[in-house]
Amino acid sequence: MKILAFGYGILCYLLFNFSLFYFTGFLGNFIVPKTIDTGPQIPFLQAILINTLLIILFGLQHSVMARPWFKRIWLTLIPIPIERSTYVLLSSVAVLLLCGFWQPLPQMIWQIENPVGAVILWALFWFGWLFALYATFLIDHFDLVGIRPVYLYWRGIPYTPVPFQIRSAYHYIRHPIMLGTFIGIWATPLMSLGHLWLSIGFSLYILIGSRLEERDMRNVHGEFYENYRQKTSMIMPSFSRKRS
């Protein structure tokens, strides 16, 4: 049972990495077979409806499954050691469903033809996604993606939650993962209508999801987190605030 749980966690982690890679190529229009601007086109309103539902599905899965009330119900069905891995699995499936069923709206909103401007935007694109990935390691990447819980279970070591720590970028912003995602979805020299629609939808998810997460953090960490919240910016860095 323990080795099966560990293997399950590894497979979920590999799928997570694949979905992240695929989504990057999907958004950047490279490498992957179906990107945000490719594929047969359907009527405009039908495409908008399908794409909106895909964004909502992504947002609900990521936010609802992360709420404590849902976890209390979920843990009556799923063993504790694989709970996080299962969340990662379903998150990856939500991303791949979005990429697979997205309806292209290739009408251009902006197209940067200046080589310097295009290079700058591509650099920001990669910076955003790499910064988001880097931020996961600041709060224990392997716990976040479900590897640590299944590893401890395999070794017969009781799971202990990762303590709240303030390191590096977290001294200045409370949600650097969201900041990196925000940069990654908006920085592009080729902004199509479909890309714009996804960027707007994901930006709304970032704002709503961050506030829901902060409410949970205040409930768990109380005054300590409230004091941290008062001294740092939410998503966009503000270096004028007092370092927490």
Q: What percent of the chain has pLDDT over 90?
A: 79
How confident is the model at residue 163, as a pLDDT? 87
What pLDDT is attached to residue 220? 87
Query: How much is the average pLDDT of 26-35?
Result: 95
pLDDT average, residue stretch 172-181: 94
Q: Averaged over 73-87, what is the pLDDT? A: 92
Lowest mean pLDDT among 96-100, 103-107, 144-148, 160-164: 160-164
- Model pTM above 0.75: yes
Please state the φ and ψ torsions of residue 111, each to the nearest 5 degrees: -145, 110
pLDDT in tens, 178-232: 999 999 999 999 999 999 999 999 999 999 999 999 999 989 888 889 899 888 9
In Å, the largest CA–CA distance within the chain is 58
- For the chain, give the mean pLDDT: 93
pLDDT at 244 over 70: no
Domain ranges in the chain?
2-231
